[in-house]
A = this chain, B = another copy of it.
C-alpha cells in the first residue's frame, strides 16, 4: 500500500455506500461516475499518479520517519526547508497536468498544522493528544488516504464571536462529550474537494476566547461518517460539464467545494485533537493559514503557465504571435506568474524551524505569496482575455461544429493560420474560458486560505512598525531608541513562533 496508484484511489473512492453527497439537489453515490464530480475526482487522482510519473516521482514522494517507508508527499510532515520547497515545486507541476486545483493541499496542511500544535500541547503536558495524532498520521500515511481539510465555518454575522452569534450553529460546536468521544453539530463551508476524499480533518476557523470553548474543536473522521452531509457548490460554467460534449466543458480536470453539514456527528476520542482548548486556536489558525498561503505560490503559478501557453497558442493561430504588444502581454503574464512563485519559494526556503524535524513556512513570505495570489490572477486572466480575443465570449458550441449544416461554415470562419483547425481554436478558447475565468483562478485565488483583508492583518502584526519608526527617527537626526543589536530579519516574531518557543520547542 503506502504509495497508492491513481487507479487504487479511484477504486477506493467509488466504493462508498454510506456517504451522503448532494449535487444540485440530488444525491450522488458514486462520485467517479457523476459528470459534475468526475473531473474533480480526476484532479485528486493526479496527486496519486504524480508519485509514479517520471517528472514528479521524486517530488511526489517523501520518506516518513513514522513508518520508515516512502510515502506520498501529500501526507508528509515537512522535515526541512527543502521539503517545503518541494511542495511548491510539486504543486506547480501538478497544475500543468490538471489545469485545475487538485484539492489535496488542505488536508496536507491540516496534518502539518496538527503536528506542530499537538507537539506544543505535549510539551505542556497533553502528551496523549500528540500520541493520538501520531497514531492517526501513521494510519493516513500507511493507507495513503485522500484527505480533506475542513476549516471555514458558516460564520453567520462576521463581527460576532462564535458564542455571541444569535444562530448557535454559525460555528461548528461540541454538543456533548462522553467517555468515548464527542458529538458535534454545525457546518463547514467551502470545503475543497471533500466529496472525493476518504477522510476529513476538521479544524477551528478562528482564534477563540474561553467563552467560545465549545467551538474549539479539531478532529478527524471518515468522510462517510453517519450524520455528515455534503452539499456540492455550484461554479461558473458547471452546467456544461453535465452536457455530453467533449469540448465546451474543458478541461477534463476540475475541482469542487462543498458545504459539509454535521448533524450530531459522533467522533471517537482517539480522533479528537482539540475539544475545548481554546488557547491553541489562534496559533492553530495562524500555522495553517501560513502553510496554505505558501502553497498558492506553486499551484497558481502552474495555472498561470497553462494560461500563458493557451494565450500564446491562440495568438499563433491568428498570426499575431510576433506582434510586439502580444509579446509584451505574454511577458507581463510571465512576470506576474513568476512573482507569485518566487514568493512561495522564499516562504519555503527561508523557513522557520518549529521543532525537531519540523518546519513551518516563513509567515511573512507566506502572507506575501497569498496576497500576490489575491491580486495577480485577475490581471493574468484579463491579459489572456485580451490575447484570446472576443471569441472567448462568443464562440459557437461544439454541437454547432458537429452539425452537418454548419460544420463547413464554422470550420472556415474559425480557422486562422493554416496549420490549425477550427476545432483547435475552439478547444483552446474553451480552455482559456474555463481556466482564466474558473473558480480556482478567479475566486479561490482571492478567498482561499483567507481573504485579502486577513493577510493585511498579518502584515500589520508581523511587521515591526515601531522599529521602522525608530530607524527613521535616527536617520532624521532625532532622538531615537533604535538599537542595532538584533541579528534577526526585521520582523516581529509571530504568535506561533512565540508559542513554540514558550513550549520549549523553538530555540
Using A342-B368, A446-B382, A471-B306 as known contacts, say yes or no to A439 and B393 having CB atoms under 8 A apart.
yes
Minimum distance in angstroms from A477 CB to a CB of chain B: 6
* In the complex, per-residue mask of A201-229: 1 if CB is within 8 Å of any chain B CB, else 0: 00000000000000000000000000001
A286 interface contact, C-beta 8 A: no
A410 contacts B by Cβ under 8 Å: yes
Tell me if B55 and A486 are in contact (CB < 8 A).
yes
User: In whole angstroms, what is the CA distance A272 to B155 when docked?
Assistant: 59
Determine whether A177 belongs to the interface, using a CB cutoff of 8 Å to chain B: no
CB contact between A157 and one of B325, B389, B416, B467 (< 8 Å): that residue: B416
A306 partner, pick from B190, B250, B468, beta carbons under 8 A = B468
Evaluate contact between A325 and B324: CB separation under 8 angstroms: yes
With contacts A394-B259, A413-B259 taken as known, whether A476 is within 8 angstroms of B368 at the C-beta atoms is no
Q: How far, in Å, is A439 (CB) from chain B's closest CB?
A: 4
A372 and B490: CB pair below 8 A? no
Chain A contact surface mostly? helix
Query: Nearest chain-B residue to A92 (Cβ)?
Result: B490
Question: A78 in the interface, Cβ–Cβ < 8 Å?
Answer: no
Residue on B nearest A371 in the bound complex, by CB? B335
A67 CB within 8 Å of chain B: no
Contacting A430 at CB < 8 Å: which of B23, B259, B476? B476
Q: Decide: A393 and B444 in contact? CB cutoff 8 A.
A: yes
Which B residues are in CB contact (< 8 Å) with A234?
Answer: 248, 394-397
**In the bound complex, what is the Cα–Cα distance between A89 and B489 (angstroms)?**
7
- What residues on B are CB-neighbors of A259 within 8 Å? 394, 396, 410, 413
Are B346's CB and A476's CB within 8 A?
no
For residue A179, CB closer than 8 A to chain B, the reply is no
- In the complex, per-residue mask of A56-76: 1 if CB is within 8 Å of any chain B CB, else 0: 101100000000000000000
The complex places the Cα of A369 from the Cα of B345 at a distance, in Å, of 13
Residue pair B460, A251 in contact (C-beta under 8 Å): no
CB within 8 Å for A393 and B443 given contacts A189-B413, A475-B250: yes
CB of A364 within 8 Å of the partner chain: yes
Bound Cα distance from A447 to B486, whole angstroms: 32
B378, B379, B476: which contacts A431 (Cβ < 8 A)?
Answer: B476
B378 touches A382 (CB 8 A): yes
Interface residue? A265 (CB, 8 A): no
- One of A110-118, A159-167, A277-285, A493-501 at the interface: A159-167
Across the interface, which residues of B come within 8 angstroms of A431, CB to CB? 472, 475-476
Residue of B nearest to A426 (CB): B476
Against B, the Cβ 8 Å flags (1 = close, 0 = not) of A459-489 are 1100101011111110111100010111101
Interface string of A232-262 (1 = CB under 8 A from B): 1111111110110011101111000111010
Contact status B229-A406, CB under 8 Å: yes
